[in-house]
């Protein structure tokens, strides 16, 4: 990861001062007299602060020693209460109608496999969060180019929760690579590596009429030193606008190649680009009845080389699909209901010495529907070898003088593994049943308060994962959080 600490403090302070000046209206923000092409500089920022309480069953796998001690692990499952979030100040720089840039500094919420709790030294590091240049009408009127830390993702529904490709809000593509069944150690590995990548490269978008094409080259999604040691993403995706059928509808397809080091290597250090996993698929999102009804679906297949063992190639064989529907009823409170079915393949093959296929689906997903099982920032972030049914709903109420400014929602997830998890006492498939309730009070367009509670029960996988280390027996867990989100 690229760290910027003391050398960026002056720049960060200047950004804060500029933000304060802009907010107070004291003086316009100007540049040097020789910078005549600078049209406008807009200073913005964001502060997120969450109080989080996690039960001991959760911290057994997510605690990373940020309380000053070593990681607790399943041997010491203690509850914790922490403050988490981040601060960011950025500048949008317009040099002309066709050239612009974005630069943002601040802290990070997660980094290096660790949750960065407020009040700890690691959470106070000032880093480069965003840095890219946008070129409009690049070579031709319909082509736009972005270079630097790109913001590209493949999001069929367009709601910021990509099912397969969002490297800015995900861990390494290969973190779930496996050639054998999940075991009692799997949950520790899944929940113990929160990360947000900083993929560097180029994203070109061609848009004309109803068609959009993206060409993506991110040779340093994860910087590993030499080019052969990096994790790289190369992708082309296609979008077709279906507004003629129903407003806001579209269909998309993607072919992506992810190359990196061999995840099954036992050499130290691991080096050499030994993998080339292709992901092919796409999806559709359709709106009907003036967008009151949304129907969506996605399916993806993987092929290529997932690595090698003892000189033998391990083939990639993952697959994934999801489908669902949401319906918003008429009325001032805008009540809505939704249903989602998700399937992510796992691996149940023989031990690594004899297996020649990795069946677990690999991705840069950004799905956080269930706060304990799926959320990377709060919970376990289990994102492969999963079959889930999710039932959700919500309503908007009026609070104080506001209109529809209190959003209430709930979700019930019935989650199992696609392939059983192997324990010494037998195999289990019940990841659990999770019931979450969330509330968000929108005070202004730039400020909101939120609260959420997650209840997990019937999780035999979690129970046996803990029992494998210390003999405890508990298949339920609880998490709740209160937070504030401020933009300026």
Angle 91-94-95 from CA coordinates, rounded to 5° = 130
Q: Which two tokens stand for residue 98?
A: 């066709």
Share of the chain above pLDDT 90, in %: 59
Instruction: Identify whether 269 is preceded by a cis peptide bond (ω within 30 of 0).
Output: yes
Q: Find which of 70-74, 165-169, 259-263 is predicted with most confidence, using mean pLDDT.
A: 165-169
Q: How many residues are given for the chain? A: 488
- pLDDT class of 270 with cuts at 50, 70, 90: low
Query: According to the model, what pLDDT value does residue 269 have?
Result: 64
For residue 159, pLDDT over 60 is answered with: yes
Burial 254-293, CB ≥16 within 10 A → b, else e: bebebbbbbbbeeeeebeebbbbbbbebbbbbbbeeeeee
Burial tier of 173 (Cβ tally within 10 Å: 0-12, 13-18, 19+): buried
Q: CA 379 to CA 394: how far, in whole Å?
A: 22
Six-digit token pair at 448? 């909101």
Check: CB of residue 256 under 8 Å from CB of residue 302: no
Note the pLDDT tens digit of each residue in 32-48.
666 666 678 889 999 99
Name residue 364's beta-bridge partners: 165
For the chain, give the mean pLDDT: 86
Identify the weakest region by mean pLDDT among 71-75, 422-426, 445-449.
71-75
Q: Which residues contact 261 (CB under 8 A, 6 or more apart)?
A: 174, 224, 229, 231, 270, 271, 272, 273, 274, 275
Domains of the chain as residue ranges with CATH: 60-84+135-487 (2.40.160)
pLDDT tier at 21 (50, 70, 90 boundaries)? very low
The reported pTM is 0.88
In whole angstroms, what is the distance from residue 297 CA to residue 286 CA? Answer: 9
Report the pLDDT value the prediction gives residue 36, as an integer from 0 to 100: 64
Confidence of residue 3 (pLDDT cuts 50, 70, 90): very low
Print the SS3 string covering the chain: CCCCCHHHHHHHHHHHHHHHHHHHCCCCCCCCCCCCCCCEEEEEEEEEEEEEEECHHHHHHHCCCCCCCCCCCCCCCCCEEEEEEEEEEEEEEECCCCEEEEEEEECCCEECCEECECCCHHHHCCEEEEEEEEECCCCCCCEEEEEEECCCCECCCCCCCCCCECHHHCCCCCCCCCCCCCECCHHHHHHCCCCCCCCEEEEEEEEECCEEEEEEEEEEEECCCCHHHCEEEEEEEEEEECCCCCCCCEEEEEEEEEEEECCCCCCCCCCCEEEEEEEEEEEEEEEECCCCEEEEEEEEEEEEEEEEECCEEEEECCEEEEEEEEEECCCCCCCEEEEEEEEECCCCCCCCCCCCEECCCCCECCCCCCCCCCCCCCCCCCCCCEEEEEEEEEEEECCCCCCCCEEEEEEEEEEEEEEEEEECCEEEEEEEEEEEEEEEEEEECCEEEEEEEEEEECCHHHHHHHHHHHCCCCCCEEEEEEEEEEEC
Of the two residues 112 and 254, the one the predictor is more confident about is 254
Among positive and negative, which fits the CA dihedral 190, 194, 196, 200?
Answer: negative
51-78 mean pLDDT: 68
- d(C-alpha 458, C-alpha 372), whole Å: 13
- The top-scoring range by mean pLDDT among 77-86, 89-98, 358-367, 420-429 is 358-367
- Measured distance CA(165)–CA(320) in Å, rounded: 13
Taking only the tens place, the pLDDT of each residue in 288-344 is 998 899 999 999 999 999 988 877 889 999 999 999 999 999 988 999 999 999 999
- Average pLDDT of the segment spanning 207-235: 89
pLDDT mean over 431-436: 97
Residue 13 has pLDDT above 90, yes or no: no
């Amino acid at each position: 990861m690229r760290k910027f600490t003391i050398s960026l403090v002056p720049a960060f302070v200047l950004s804060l001062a500029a933000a304060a000046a802009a907010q107070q209206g004291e003086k316009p923000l100007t540049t040097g007299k020789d910078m005549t092409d600078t049209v406008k500089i807009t200073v913005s920022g964001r502060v997120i602060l969450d109080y989080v309480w996690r039960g001991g069953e959760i911290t057994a796998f997510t605690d990373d020693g940020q309380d000053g001690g070593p990681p607790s692990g399943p041997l010491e499952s203690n509850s914790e209460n922490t403050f988490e979030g981040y601060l960011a100040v950025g500048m949008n720089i317009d040099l002309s109608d066709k050239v612009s840039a974005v630069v943002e500094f601040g802290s990070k919420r997660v980094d290096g496999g660790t949750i960065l709790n407020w009040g700890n030294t690691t959470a106070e590091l000032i880093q480069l969060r965003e840095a890219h240049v946008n070129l409009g009408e690049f070579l031709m009127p319909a082509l736009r180019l972005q270079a630097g830390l790109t913001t590209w993702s493949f999001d069929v529904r367009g709601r910021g929760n990509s099912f397969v490709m969002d490297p800015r809000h995900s861990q390494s593509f290969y973190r779930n690579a496996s050639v054998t069944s999940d075991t009692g150690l799997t949950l520790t590995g899944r929940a113990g590596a929160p990360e947000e990548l900083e993929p560097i490269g180029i994203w070109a978008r061609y848009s004309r009429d109803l068609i959009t094409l993206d060409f993506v080259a991110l040779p340093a999604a994860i910087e590993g030193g030499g080019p052969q040691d990096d994790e790289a993403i190369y992708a082309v995706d296609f979008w077709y606008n279906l507004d003629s059928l129903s407003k806001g509808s579209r269909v998309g397809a993607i072919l992506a190649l992810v190359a990196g080091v061999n995840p099954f290597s036992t050499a130290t250090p691991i080096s050499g680009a030994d993998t080339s996993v292709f992901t092919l698929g796409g999806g559709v999102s359709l709106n009907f009845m003036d967008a009151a009804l949304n129907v969506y679906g996605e399916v993806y297949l993987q092929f290529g080389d997932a690595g090698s063992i003892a000189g033998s190639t391990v083939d990639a064989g993952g697959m994934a699909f999801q489908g669902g529907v949401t319906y918003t009823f008429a009325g001032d409170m805008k009540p809505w209901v939704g249903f989602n079915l998700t399937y992510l393949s796992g691996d149940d093959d023989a031990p690594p010495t004899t297996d020649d296929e990795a069946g677990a689906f690999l991705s840069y997903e950004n799905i956080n529907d269930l706060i304990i099982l799926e959320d990377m920032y709060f919970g376990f972030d289990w994102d492969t070898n999963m079959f889930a049914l999710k039932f959700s709903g919500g309503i908007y109420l009026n609070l104080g003088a506001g209109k529809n400014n209190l959003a209430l929602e709930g979700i019930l997830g019935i989650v199992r593994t696609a392939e059983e998890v192997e324990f010494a006492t037998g195999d289990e498939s019940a990841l659990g049943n999770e019931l979450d309730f969330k509330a968000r009070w929108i005070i202004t367009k730039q400020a909101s308060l939120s609260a959420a509670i997650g209840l997990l029960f019937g999780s035999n996988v979690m129970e046996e994962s803990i029992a494998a280390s210390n003999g405890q027996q508990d298949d339920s867990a609880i998490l709740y959080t209160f937070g504030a989100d401020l933009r300026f």
